[in-house]
């Protein structure tokens, strides 16, 4: 493999699965560093103790980080990850270090790049981006369930700054890892796209139990569907538990996921002291069971260069082809099939009079309960949310979609975000955890394809007004990268 080759999904489809490195945090702990090691030499003064803010070490103790990278290269890693899990402005805000977050990310990339480039073989560098410390979907205040500490734009901007610094520092790809909220992941993908369109990205999810759901309650199928608008280099699982616990979930993913798969588990489950006891030999013996099941594998919490060195050589998985039918998601994945798409109008102000009255009286939570009851009787997998005609529709759409995310009986369904106003559509999508249908857009209006591309960049499939020349509309959307399976015409919808 040439050292100057460009990373792509094809790299992960070769006969041998690539080996990722292992943990960074637990390796740093081995050095028994002090507060002074993390603090001395920072260009700004932290507002609190920073021991444990590992990204500081890229600036204060680069020798420590470099030594860890080199140990993983010597252990046989094909890809090493930068020490930049929390090197973004929002995470570093907790330490008063937001202003130097890009410096942390850039330095992280340079340290890993140097270690990779001095290797006697090709070693890729992955820019590591963690999930952030705040969820865009989970309720942060039960008294105000529609309130969030940050919005989509703030999170996406933080990721954009992080991604830009990592790319400028020389990474080959980016891994958005330990994801627990698909909306955060969508913000990260949006940020990377803003930093450098088309840059290769891997999304890796951390599940909260053997059932294979993210912390928000979303299934893996629904999570993948929510981020599938991006040209992912790979998708999969990290952290969570040991190899044994992830094997059934990876095999389940492998039965349908068209993207290459990644798996890098912890060294078993944590012990009573929070440590990880699974030895390199035991972990390797379990990893053998993923032969032909993954395209990229390695270790997460508690793993070391010894774990990576002990891991067996695995054959790459051959992924099934991408499906031809539209798939949407809320907390669950919904295949829309070939026939008419059944929609519940429970949250449409012109079709549900009781709902409209409650929204006009600002009885938002009562309106949500009414939607929940009606959705249950409708039996539809797609909920139509249309608030046109109410005051300040963009802000109201943001508020109500956030409320929907707070109620699993409603957020299980996929959403049809519907409005004649583009800003309202955008606000709906920036607050929807799953993959929504959005529109309708008129092919006869100026900027049709550009508007569709904007909605697609936020993860949506596109609802289009029916015209005589549908083929022309489809061709226009294909020109901006939207495949026919992601296009729905209005007359394909059936209101329940």
Q: Please tell me the predicted confidence (pLDDT) of residue 469.
A: 86
Are residues 382 and 285 part of one domain? no
Between the alpha carbon of residue 183 and those of residues 205, 211, 334, 420, 440, the distances in Å are 12, 20, 18, 24, 22
Query: In the prediction, which pLDDT does 130 show?
Result: 98
Widest distance between CA atoms in the chain = 70
Q: What is the pLDDT of residue 6?
A: 84
- Quote the CA–CA distance of 438 and 415 in Å, as a whole number: 8
For residues 154 and 286, state if they share a domain: yes
Beta-carbon contacts of residue 379 (< 8 Å; ≥ 6 apart): 342, 496
pLDDT at residue 109 in the model: 98
250 Cβ neighbours under 8 A, 6+ residues apart:
236, 237, 261, 263, 290, 293, 294
Q: Are residues 261 and 337 in the same domain?
A: no
CATH number at residue 237: 3.20.20.330
Asked if residue 479 is part of any domain, the answer here is: yes
How many other CB atoms are found less than 10 A from the CB of residue 74?
A: 13
The confidence score (pLDDT) of residue 4 equals: 55
Residues 37, 67: Cα–Cα separation, whole Å: 15
Mark the ranges of the chain whose per-residue pLDDT is less than 70: 1-5
Residue 2 has a pLDDT of 47
CATH number for position 341: 3.20.20.20
Q: Has residue 321 been placed in a domain?
A: no
Long-range contacts of 466-471 (CB under 8 A, 24+ apart): 466/490, 466/491, 467/442, 467/443, 469/443
The answer to whether residue 437 sits within a structural domain is yes
Predicted local confidence at residue 249, as pLDDT = 96
Q: Looking at the structure, do residues 344 and 301 belong to the same domain, yes or no? A: no
Sheet holding 124-129, edge to edge: 18-19, 296-297, 261-265, 234-239, 201-205, 173-179, 124-129, 79-81
Assess if residue 3 is contained within a domain: no
pLDDT of residue 338: 77
In this structure, the answer to whether residues 161 and 272 fall within a common structural domain is: yes
> Are residues 286 and 358 located together in one domain of the fold?
no
- Tokens 């309708």 belong to 440
Write the pLDDT tens digit of every residue in 130-139.
999 899 999 9
Pair (232, 332) in one structural domain:
no
Residues 6+ apart with CB under 8 A from 51: 33, 34, 35, 37, 38
Q: Does 15 lie in the same domain as 131?
A: yes
pLDDT score for 5 = 63
Cβ-contact 203, 185 below 8 angstroms: yes
398 assigned to some structural domain: yes
Per residue in 17-63, pLDDT (tens digit) is 999 999 999 999 999 999 999 999 999 999 999 999 999 999 999 99
Same domain, 306 and 331: no
Would 4 be classed as within a structural domain? no
β-sheet bridge partners, residue 416: 384, 437
Q: Give the pTM.
A: 0.96
In angstroms, rounded to a whole number, what is the distance separating the alpha carbons of residues 376 and 51? 50
Token representation of residue 106: 């850039």
CB-neighbour burial class of residue 299 (10 A; exposed 0-12, middle 13-18, buried 19+): buried
Q: Give the count of domains, the chain.
A: 2
- Residue range of the domain that includes 216: 9-310
In a domain, 315, yes or no: no
Q: In this predicted structure, what is the pLDDT of residue 1?
A: 44
Q: Structure tokens of 247?
A: 């094997």
Residue 247: CA count within 13 A, CB half-sphere: 14
**Hey, which residues does 276 pair with through a beta bridge?**
270
């Amino acid at each position: 493999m040439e050292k100057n080759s460009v990373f792509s999904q094809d790299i992960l489809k070769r006969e041998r699965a690539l080996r990722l490195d292992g943990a960074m945090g637990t390796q740093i702990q081995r050095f028994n560093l002090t507060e002074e090691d993390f603090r001395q030499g920072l260009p700004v003064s932290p507002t609190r103790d920073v021991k444990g803010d590992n990204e500081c070490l890229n600036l204060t103790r680069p020798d420590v980080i470099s030594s860890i990278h080199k140990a993983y290269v010597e252990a046989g890693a094909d890809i090493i990850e930068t020490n930049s899990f929390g090197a973004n402005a929002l995470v570093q805000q907790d330490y008063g270090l937001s202003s130097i977050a890009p410096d942390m990310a850039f330095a992280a990339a340079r340290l890993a790049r140097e270690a990779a480039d001095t290797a006697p073989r090709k070693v890729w560098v992955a820019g590591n981006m963690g999930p952030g410390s705040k969820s865009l979907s989970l309720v942060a205040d039960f008294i105000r369930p529609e309130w969030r500490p940050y919005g989509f734009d703030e999170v996406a901007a933080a990721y954009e700054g992080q991604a830009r610094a990592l790319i400028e520092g020389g990474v080959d790809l980016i891994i958005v890892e330990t994801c627990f909220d698909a909306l955060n992941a969508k913000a990260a993908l949006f940020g990377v796209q803003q930093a450098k369109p088309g840059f290769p990205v891997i999304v890796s999810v951390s599940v909260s139990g053997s059932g294979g759901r993210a912390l928000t309650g979303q299934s893996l199928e629904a999570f993948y569907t929510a981020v599938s608008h991006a040209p992912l280099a790979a998708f999969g699982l990290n952290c969570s538990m040991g190899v044994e616990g992830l094997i059934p979930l990876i095999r389940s993913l492998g039965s349908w996921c068209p993207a290459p798969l990644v798996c890098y588990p912890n060294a078993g489950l944590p012990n009573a002291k929070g440590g990880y006891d699974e030895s390199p030999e035991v972990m390797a013996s379990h990893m053998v069971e993923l032969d032909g099941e993954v395209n990229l594998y390695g270790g997460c919490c508690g793993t070391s260069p010894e774990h990576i060195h002990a891991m067996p050589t695995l054959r790459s998985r051959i992924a099934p082809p991408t499906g031809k039918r539209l798939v949407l998601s809320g907390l669950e994945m919904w295949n829309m099939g070939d026939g008419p798409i059944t929609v519940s109008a429970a949250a449409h102000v012109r079709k549900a009079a009781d709902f409209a009255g409650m929204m006009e009286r600002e009885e938002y939570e009562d309106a949500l309960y009414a939607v929940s009851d009606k959705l249950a009787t409708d039996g539809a997998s797609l909920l139509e949310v249309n608030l046109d005609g109410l005051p300040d529709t963009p802000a109201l759409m943001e508020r109500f979609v956030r409320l929907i995310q707070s109620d699993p009986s409603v957020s299980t369904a996929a959403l049809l975000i519907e409005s004649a106003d583009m800003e309202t559509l955008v606000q709906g999508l920036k607050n929807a955890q799953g993959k929504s249908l959005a529109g309708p857009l008129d092919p006869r209006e100026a900027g049709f394809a550009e508007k569709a591309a904007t909605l697609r960049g936020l993860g949506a499939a596109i609802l289009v007004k029916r015209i005589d020349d549908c083929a022309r509309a489809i061709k226009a959307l294909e020109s901006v990268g939207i495949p026919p399976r992601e296009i729905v015409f209005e007359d394909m919808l059936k209101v329940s």
